[in-house]
A and B are shown apart, each in its own frame.
Chain A
């Protein structure tokens, strides 16, 4: 059983640029959630995707958007990058939309915005 993978591992961008982060869900999982983890803080929920539709969103502006593909992999897109977007971005997959079932996390993508 393949675990959750994320790419790239690290990324450096400048203010105003756009970035796309990718996540492959664990085999058999149809739900992907994205989190932002700033340095020294706990993860914050960005949004969740279920069967290619957004299924819940945290307190993040519209410049944070996402996609889910038929194979349940997912992308997180951030436009007009700001310095405060520097963080570790985690994705987590689960078997259904109810995240009280175990979420399996990926290793994260470290984004640095200069």
Chain B
């Protein structure tokens, strides 16, 4: 079974500091995609960053970057220079190539403190 595990239900960070959210996944597939989604208190989910499993280079989007360790099946999200607007639920998600069943983890609630 393909599963996604986020072991940190809640985290907090001071404004301007760096925080890392953890995610591990389980699959026997070789071609897949990994995602981090942000769900602010207003509920609308937005894509933060995406990583293709065939790419060795870690994805980066401005203050957001990932540490993708394929052998360890680990996909952590690093948020640099945290801002108050980063406060949200963060979901790690996984999908295999050619399959539209996206699997989500249970989420990590991140609070950025002023």
Interface size class of A (residues with CB under 8 A): 20 to 34
0/1 string, A72-106, CB within 8 A of B gives 1: 00000000000000001010100001111011011
Report the separation of the CA atoms of residues A40 and B89 in the bound assembly, to the nearest whole angstrom. 10
Interface size class of B (residues with CB under 8 A): 20 to 34
SS class of chain B's interface: helix, strand, loop or mixed?
A: loop
**Any chain B CB within 8 A of the CB of A41?**
yes
Contact present for B44 and A97 (CB under 8 Å): no
Chain A residues within 8 Å of B47, by CB? 102-103
Q: Contacts A40-B106, A41-B107, A106-B44 hold; do A100 and B97 have CB atoms under 8 A apart?
A: yes
Report the separation of the CA atoms of residues A33 and B50 in the bound assembly, to the nearest whole angstrom. 18
* Chain A residues with a Cβ under 8 A of chain B: 33, 40-45, 48, 55-56, 58, 88, 90, 92, 97-100, 102-103, 105-108
